[in-house]
Chains A and B, each alone.
Chain A
Amino acid sequence: MPIKTDLSTIAQMPDERGHFGPYGGRFVSETLMAALKQLEETYERLWRDPDFQAEFDRDLAHYVGRPSPLYHAVHLTELCGGAQIYLKREDLNHTGAHKVNNTIGQALLAKYTGKPRVIAETGAGQHGVASATVAARLGLECQVYMGAEDVQRQALNVYRMKLLGAEVISVESGTRTLKDAMNEAMRDWVTNVDDTFYIIGTAAGPHPYPKLVRDFQSVIGREARAQCLEQAGRLPDALVACVGGGSNAIGLFHPFIEDGDVRMVGVEAGGYGVESGQHAAPLTAGRPGVLHGNRTYLMEDDAGQILGTHSVSAGLDYPGVGPEHSYLKDTGRAEYVAINDDEAMDAFRTLTRVEGIMPAIESSHAVAHAMKMAKEMDKDQIIVVNLSGRGDKDIHTVAQLDGIQV
């Protein structure tokens, strides 16, 4: 259902109740309402506070290592033989992914609100590692919920979190992946709401999370926009980012919303193929519903039960998506496609071999689609791809696919 609206209206979302058109909102049980209202007030106040901003910027510069480079991938460009491909190198951030931009911001909120304990949910473990990292630095107690299946396939990150002093709680319920970790984190939060800050790892969940995560991640798009203008003398023609819950994508997209000529393309996990039903592509193949505190596109059956998902990448293996993406889809401002497991793995290998950059499997989905797009575009056109994370955490998965034990 297309929503007709102008670009500046789109950029101003959400409204004061956290709605992006029909999406978003605050669909939680009563116990959490007060905490969310308090978080919203704290956030709105601090986000406008120059001291808070200065501390956030300082941490991003000296702890995360920002700005991250915008790298003109000439060899990949040559291989595709079309548009110029630039990579926004979030993989070079401290802890190896974009996730840390958000955890720095939320940990500061935890600090300013005096909560001694943080919890997080994690899929690939990148958000868990980023949360454990900021918790270690600020001396906060940290527990991370992770689906049992992900604990297996992201063993390296589990151990990193433990080294950082966090406790990883393996979630055995439901499908034992990210959505179940999120259920369990919500349950913890309901129980310990007085002393606990819930660091949500993606631009989803109840208001104000989708908004604040977007704002913390928008540094990606602001930098990329300035860097592209500086390096190429103009704005890109297209942005490409992978979409799990949607935080790296919205971080890249948001500062470009009013640049109507810049295409935005979100890449979901096609798993074994959207037609197989074994995927994690709610925007491509799902429909609107309510889960985890917000209304958004979901993978659900015709009775409203949430479906299990499949993706080779743990970080994209989620049946929902941040509500702003649902809105961008319906307004037509952004488009969403799916890339299958094997296409993503091919892109992983290609980028590694031609550029010496080993991307996370999540980010490989974006690379794969950008390569397809580049081939269809002219040489004087520009695609900026969000390289959301590095592939170190995925070596075991890749080796396993190759039949090698490392």
Chain B
Amino acid sequence: MNRIAACFERLKEQGRQALIPYITAGDPAPGATVPTMHAMVEAGADIIELGIPFSDPMADGPTIQLACERSLKHGTRLLDVLDMVKTFREKDQETPVVLMGYLNPVEVLGYGAFAEQAAAAGVDGALIVDLPPEEAEGEFDQAMKANGLDIIYLLAPTTEESRIEQVCKAGSGYLYYVSVKGVTGSASLDVQAVADKLDVVRKYTNLPVGVGFGIKDAESAKAVSEVAEGVIVGSVLVNKIASLVQQQDEIPAQVSAIVAELRTAMDA
């Protein structure tokens, strides 16, 4: 069993939900990332989504766009992101790491090379925001499978039922439900609407579902944890990082303090 499946299995036995924080790799500088990953795990993170910085993050709001810009100022490349995961794995062989980003940096490396090197670095799966199952079919899909990597797909409020079935079939590891129509960091979510949609999703899959976009605080994290197997938070953490650009030593402690707060609320 791979790390992602094992993680959800263990949580299920414990009757708990996965807390899945997102940070952009190399934000605000390359040295900040691995210590922050470890600190988040200590504070109760179950899976880490690590963003691959991209110059044109079309599906993200200003928070993550600025994070990409801070990271790219240091020239963070996809290969550097893989190195960060490798370093993280020196101390943590258990916590799943999912890369999240846009296709072009992956395309430049080549799908086969990406999947091989990601697996070798200790990555468990990837969520490529602008790569829907239709376009992943074939080369990307095969490369990921051949290397034992999960492909995490998005579902959205606009995804129709016939398509939900198709996406559920294509995905593995878990599914990422985008709770609001909008970009990351936008409006807050309607938990009832999420619950209704997830009822439909569950008709087609036994995969765990993580819900992201619009989770801002302990209260919304708790509410989502009551309807989904995973709670994904990004912009609140990235905003915290942005506020600490001048005090980078503080980043692991202060970011993980938010993670701990969400964890406490979810487990209460």
- Chain A residues in contact with chain B, CB under 8 A? 17, 25-35, 173-174, 179-180, 183, 186-187, 190-194, 289-293, 295, 298, 300, 302-306
Say which one of B159-167, B188-196, B216-224 lies at the interface with A.
B159-167
The digit string for B45-61, where 1 denotes a CB below 8 A from any CB of A, is 00000000011111101
Partner of A292, one of B58, B61, B107: B58
Instruction: Decide yes or no whether B77 CB sits under 8 A from chain A.
Output: yes
Chain A nearest CB from B211 CB (Å) reads 14
| Residues of chain A within 8 A of B59, CB atoms compared | 29, 31, 186-187, 190
Residues A26 and B106 in contact, CB atoms below 8 Å apart: no
Instruction: Decide yes or no whether B135 CB sits under 8 A from chain A.
Output: yes
Residues A306 and B55 in contact, CB atoms below 8 Å apart: yes
Add 8 more A-B contacts to A190-B59, A191-B182, A289-B104 (CB < 8 A): A27-B130, A29-B129, A33-B163, A190-B181, A290-B103, A291-B104, A300-B104, A304-B108
Chain A nearest CB from B81 CB (Å) reads 10
| Residues of chain B within 8 A of A193, CB atoms compared | 158, 181
Residues A29 and B158 in contact, CB atoms below 8 Å apart: no
Q: Given the complex of chains A and B, what is the CA–CA distance between A304 and B55 in angstroms? A: 9
Partner of A27, one of B57, B131, B186: B131
Q: Given the complex of chains A and B, what is the CA–CA distance between A397 and B24 in angstroms? A: 40
Q: Given the complex of chains A and B, what is the CA–CA distance between A304 and B57 in angstroms? A: 13
Residues A304 and B78 in contact, CB atoms below 8 Å apart: yes
Instruction: Decide yes or no whether B148 CB sits under 8 A from chain A.
Output: no
Partner of A303, one of B78, B130, B157, B186: B78
Instruction: Decide yes or no whether B8 CB sits under 8 A from chain A.
Output: no
| Residues of chain B within 8 A of A34, CB atoms compared | 156, 158-160, 163
| Residues of chain A within 8 A of B186, CB atoms compared | 191
| Residues of chain B within 8 A of A179, CB atoms compared | 56
Partner of A183, one of B56, B105, B135, B182: B56
Partner of A30, one of B106, B167, B183: B167
Enumerate B206-239 residues with CB–CB distance to A below 8 Å.
Answer: none
Residues A30 and B54 in contact, CB atoms below 8 Å apart: no
Residues B105 and A173 in contact, CB atoms below 8 Å apart: no
Instruction: Decide yes or no whether B72 CB sits under 8 A from chain A.
Output: yes
Instruction: Decide yes or no whether B62 CB sits under 8 A from chain A.
Output: yes
Residues A33 and B183 in contact, CB atoms below 8 Å apart: no
Chain B nearest CB from A306 CB (Å) reads 5
| Residues of chain A within 8 A of B160, CB atoms compared | 34
Instruction: Decide yes or no whether B13 CB sits under 8 A from chain A.
Output: no
Residue of A nearest to B53 (CB): A305
The digit string for B170-214, where 1 denotes a CB below 8 A from any CB of A, is 000000001001110010000000000000000000000000000
| Residues of chain A within 8 A of B130, CB atoms compared | 27-29, 290, 293
Chain B nearest CB from A369 CB (Å) reads 29
Residues B182 and A30 in contact, CB atoms below 8 Å apart: no
The digit string for B130-143, where 1 denotes a CB below 8 A from any CB of A, is 11101100000000
Chain A nearest CB from B179 CB (Å) reads 11
Instruction: Decide yes or no whether B109 CB sits under 8 A from chain A.
Output: yes
| Residues of chain A within 8 A of B153, CB atoms compared | 30
Instruction: Decide yes or no whether B155 CB sits under 8 A from chain A.
Output: yes
| Residues of chain B within 8 A of A186, CB atoms compared | 58-59
Residue of B nearest to A192 (CB): B181
Can you spell out 12 A-B residue pairs with CB atoms less than 8 angstroms apart?
A26-B135, A29-B132, A30-B156, A34-B163, A174-B69, A187-B61, A190-B59, A190-B183, A191-B181, A289-B104, A290-B102, A302-B108
Residues A30 and B108 in contact, CB atoms below 8 Å apart: no
Residue of B nearest to A35 (CB): B158
Residues B109 and A31 in contact, CB atoms below 8 Å apart: no
Residues B72 and A31 in contact, CB atoms below 8 Å apart: no
Residue of B nearest to A33 (CB): B132
Instruction: Decide yes or no whether B17 CB sits under 8 A from chain A.
Output: no
Chain B nearest CB from A123 CB (Å) reads 15
Residue of B nearest to A19 (CB): B135
Known: A190-B183, A193-B181, A290-B103. A29 touches B108 (CB 8 A): no
Residue of A nearest to B108 (CB): A304
Instruction: Decide yes or no whether B256 CB sits under 8 A from chain A.
Output: no
Instruction: Decide yes or no whether B65 CB sits under 8 A from chain A.
Output: yes
| Residues of chain B within 8 A of A180, CB atoms compared | 56
Instruction: Decide yes or no whether B154 CB sits under 8 A from chain A.
Output: yes
Chain A nearest CB from B18 CB (Å) reads 20
Residue of A nearest to B167 (CB): A30
Q: Given the complex of chains A and B, what is the CA–CA distance between A372 and B12 in angstroms? A: 71
Q: Given the complex of chains A and B, what is the CA–CA distance between A295 and B136 in angstroms? A: 13
Residues A305 and B105 in contact, CB atoms below 8 Å apart: yes
Chain A nearest CB from B75 CB (Å) reads 8
| Residues of chain A within 8 A of B135, CB atoms compared | 25-27
Chain B nearest CB from A180 CB (Å) reads 8
Residues B158 and A304 in contact, CB atoms below 8 Å apart: no
Chain B nearest CB from A167 CB (Å) reads 19
Q: Given the complex of chains A and B, what is the CA–CA distance between A194 and B56 in angstroms? A: 24
Known: A190-B59, A306-B56. A33 touches B104 (CB 8 A): no
| Residues of chain B within 8 A of A27, CB atoms compared | 103, 130-132, 135
